[in-house]
Amino acid sequence: MTYREVEAVIPAENSVTVRKRVQIARQRQLERLKGTGVTCNAAMTPQQVHRFCRLAPQARSILRDAFNKLGLSMRAHDRLLKVARTIADLAGEETITAAHLAEAIQYRSLDWGERA
């Protein structure tokens, strides 16, 4: 199989679809955080992260492993959860799954690599 064939198999979302999904995710965040003084996942306090970032059992296991293997600080732990919460919002899901958390770890590891 050539790269061109692989590329043809994966349809890209058009910008209208992406924009609508982002708007819906932002609305979910606003509704969830209503009355907290916070309007987006990135601005959540540690207490709000604990309250609003519910993890599926497998996601909890992945987070525990990442915390121990990567030597994460609590700040890095909470940042991972905020990113995973946003990914779950974009997927329209209330619970953060293993897939959401794995994606968040990948994104955050790009940041960690830049500092190394």
Taking all residues of the chain, what is their mean pLDDT, rounded to a whole number?
Answer: 90
**What global pTM score does this model have?**
0.84
Q: What average pLDDT does the segment 65-80 reach?
A: 92
CATH assignment at residue 16 = 1.10.8
What stretch of H or E contains 83?
Answer: helix 74-91
Residue 115 has pLDDT above 50, yes or no: no
Q: 18-53, pLDDT tens digit by residue?
A: 999 999 999 999 999 999 999 999 999 999 999 999
Domain coverage including residue 105: 3-115
- With bands split at pLDDT 50, 70 and 90, how would you rate the model's confidence at 116? very low
Residue 2 corresponds to which amino acid?
T
Q: How many domains does the chain have?
A: 1
